[in-house]
Chain A
Amino acid sequence: MNGPVALVAGREITTRLRSRAYLITTALLLAAVVAGGLVLHLAQGSSSAQVVGLTPQTASLAAPLEATAEAAGLDVSTRQVADDAAATAGVEDGSLDAALTGDLPAFTVVVEKDLDAQATTVLTGLRQQTALADAVTRLGGDPAQVSQEVAGATLDVHALNPEPARDGAQVVAGYVAGILLFLTLQTCAQMVAQGVVEEKSSRVVELLLATIRPWQLMVGKVLGIGVVGLVQVAVVVVGGVASASAFGLVDTSDIDLGASALWSLVFFVVGFVMYAFAVAALASLVSRQEDVGSVVGPMILFMVIPYVVGISIAPWDPDNPIVVALSYIPFCAPLVMPIRVALGTVDTWQVLVSLGLSLVLVPALVWLAARIYSNAVLRTGAKVRVRDALRAA
């Protein structure tokens, strides 16, 4: 039925997928997300566990030490050594970061040079526990029961204006989504603009329009370049998700990686459709590649606004009113909403509302673009004014 549209789209896809520039860009983007994942992974790995040696006299401290350390966010593992001499030797040769020697409750901490602040806090707490347990025992109580009750006492914080919860992985994902969508939407919009003008400047458009209708040519072109762009985004998103999972970057995060990836793809499609039709109409007004910038430039510049707001404000202040507003406004939403989704600070219904607001606009946009394009694409020479393109029959 829509043979011509499919043929036009097919030509765009086959010629562009083979183009060297496209392959290189995709490979570079993919390499960037995988390399980024690797760097983050290595950065995490460098804060490796501290090994604390325990003698038979202090062995009973293993469980409370690990529990206290974990509560303080410190990664500590324990190792049994034969006696105090062996513990000191272990610290000297570096196989142990610290050792607990002497007799309980007044154990001694052996270290190479000094104890860092965090470890001092943890071990001080531990020392106070042993002192407390000793006192409880002497008073005829059960230290285990006391420590259990103490452990059960947690702080109840009532925040009047809580900061939305988000972690490092979510912030990184937000950045990646924002940058990726901006880059790909911009490149694809440029591809559409250049494709339209290429046909106009080489005059092949006259040959094509003797056979097919202008809207078929425009829709086929947008569709074809859209598929090409979507393949690029999908490759990068899948690469990013795969490397994040493989390097264990999201193990401790609250991020919903699947939802972030999916919404990024959906918003790419919506954003692409809107920008592509707008750009196709604008590009049809000029006849030479040199003039593309003058009509498409403002549109591309416009994309920078939601991008900069999304990238610079959203990760630190996801509920900032400007960020929230832009995430609903058509043309801006595709660049901002995926960042908010990655940060985990929006509900699904909010995403759907944003999507709906954009989609409502699409039919009118396509109609307008088709009208401008049909009237302008065969007029070569001087730049056609939008008003003339809209008016002419």
Chain B
Amino acid sequence: MSDVPTLEIDHLDKSYGSVRALRDMTFDVHGGEIFGFVGSNGAGKTTTMRITLGVLAADAGEVRWDGRPVDLDVRRRIGYMPEERGLYPKMKVGEQLVYLARLHGMSTSEARAATEHWTELLGVAARRDDEVQKLSLGNQQRVQLAAALVTHPEILVLDEPFSGLDPVAVDVMSGVLRERAEAGVPVIFSSHQLELVERLCDRVGIIRDGTTVAVGTIDDLRTTPTQRWLVDGPPSGGGGGVDEGGGTGGADGDGERAPGWALALPGVTVVSTDGPRTVLELAPDAADGAEQAVLRAALDAGPVREFTRVRPSLVDLYRDVVAATGADDEPGDEGDASDHAAGGTGAAA
């Protein structure tokens, strides 16, 4: 891992007046890795990205690339997609992309070639001679991504690249990010589409109140101290009276044959039951293979149609981390404010 260049976000602090936007924000993204950045509105995602790009100065902390502080020279090699989309509305798509590429230090011919390449790949080649304002929002978004990519960036920082895209465009965009990561580029993007983040990202950072509360691979994050297993087979009564499904469906017969088969197992607790579906939790000190005893007990009680490990989804993790502690008013207020702002523009449009 040591020879892979890494983008390090190191203990960033930032306040806007009395509002503390970032506190001790720390994580890193390695070359060739897609890093998903999730958190509620106003949690500090955009602030972190803007500091990385140098359009905002941190009060404290540092951003490093390959061990050195990110300066203007490094920033010119970052492909950036700001949260607030920004292109010259009255400039032609092609000219605009060439101009941006040249600002990043490319020659005119390189810039033209890159513009052709990315507009074709992103499906907006036919619109190169149109003014940006004449494009649909989805196509404007593709051009915006092209603007981040035409410079052959060594690093990609994308703020909400998927918002407002149709499913086909999402696939195109995902493919491009994957391909860039495979080429060794560290890709960091923020999104509220957690299923997408789960599917696409190698690692995820969940932030709250301007600080990271969980960082790791999806598998790491989903690993809980205790294992949970789902059994779709003979119903198990009990489970602390959460048996809401026991009286429904045609499972009565099974239930009579083996009432509470799971309750008898040592070191196993029933988390929930829903008709034939029972979720069990093994004790933290359970030995490897302890689940096999569960399976055998279930089979003894009746036919088993599904036996699978239950892991929390990113949505569950996110809710645990963000929503459960959302009693804090500060970030909520900020999020509300931006929600109102967004609603206002939406209504006006």
Please list the residues of chain A having a beta carbon within 8 angstroms of any beta carbon in chain B: 3-4, 7-8, 11, 15, 198-199, 202-213, 378, 380, 393
Contacts and interface: CB of A to CB of B under 8 A. Distances in A.
A213 B103 CA distance: 11
A393 B82 CA distance: 22
Contacts of B78: 210
The 9 A-B residue pairs with the shortest CB-CB distance in the complex, in nearest-first order: A203-B86, A204-B86, A203-B84, A210-B53, A206-B82, A210-B80, A211-B103, A207-B86, A209-B55
28 contacts: A3-B105, A4-B103, A11-B99, A15-B91, A198-B88, A202-B86, A202-B87, A202-B88, A202-B89, A203-B82, A203-B84, A204-B87, A204-B88, A206-B50, A206-B55, A206-B82, A206-B84, A206-B86, A207-B147, A209-B54, A209-B55, A210-B54, A210-B78, A210-B80, A211-B104, A212-B103, A378-B56, A393-B57
Contacts of A204: 86-88
Interface string B108-123: 0000000000000000
Residue of A4, A199, A206, A209 most packed against chain B (CB within 10 A): A206
Nearest to B84: A203
Given A11-B99, A199-B88, A203-B85, 5 more contacts: A7-B102, A15-B90, A15-B91, A210-B80, A211-B100
Contacts of B86: 202-207
Interface in B258-290: none
A213 B85 contact: no
Contacts of B76: 211
A203 B91 CA distance: 14
A286 B54 CA distance: 21
A236 B346 CA distance: 47
A23 B103 CA distance: 28
A393 B88 CA distance: 28
A208 B85 CA distance: 12
Nearest to A209: B55
A380 B84 contact: yes
A210 B75 contact: yes
B72 interface: yes
A4 B76 CA distance: 11
A203 B159 CA distance: 14
Contacts of A7: 99, 102-103
Nearest to A8: B103
Given A11-B99, A202-B89, A204-B87, A211 B56 contact: no
Given A15-B91, A202-B86, A202-B87, A207 B54 contact: no
Interface in B144-158: 147
A210 B78 CA distance: 8
A202 B88 CA distance: 7
Contacts of B53: 206, 210
Contacts of B85: 203
A88 to B, nearest CB: 75
A310 B105 CA distance: 47
A300 B82 CA distance: 34
Nearest to B76: A211
A208 B75 CA distance: 11
A378 B53 CA distance: 13
Contacts of A212: 103
Contacts of B102: 7
Contact of A211 (B75, B84, B89, B91): B75
Nearest to A6: B102
Contacts of A11: 99
A380 B345 CA distance: 14
Nearest to B159: A206
Nearest to B52: A210
A207 B100 contact: yes
A167 B230 CA distance: 104
A9 to B, nearest CB: 12
Nearest to B91: A15
Contacts of B87: 202, 204, 207
A212 B102 CA distance: 11
Nearest to B133: A202
A212 B82 CA distance: 15
Nearest to A19: B90
Contacts of A210: 53-55, 75, 78, 80, 82
A213 B57 CA distance: 13
Contacts of A209: 54-55
Contacts of B90: 15
B85 to A, nearest CB: 6
A209 B75 CA distance: 10
B88 to A, nearest CB: 6
A316 to B, nearest CB: 45
A208 B104 CA distance: 9
Residue of A199, A202, A393 most packed against chain B (CB within 10 A): A202
B189 to A, nearest CB: 16
Nearest to B341: A381
A259 B105 CA distance: 43
Contacts of B80: 207, 210
Residue of A198, A208, A209, A211 most packed against chain B (CB within 10 A): A211
B341 to A, nearest CB: 9
Nearest to B144: A207
A204 B50 CA distance: 14
Contacts of A208: 103
A380 B102 CA distance: 26
Contacts of B103: 4, 7-8, 208, 211-212
A8 B91 CA distance: 14
A327 to B, nearest CB: 39
A204 B76 CA distance: 16
A382 to B, nearest CB: 12
A199 B90 CA distance: 11
Contacts of A211: 75-76, 100, 103-104
Contacts of B84: 203, 206, 380
A15 B96 CA distance: 11
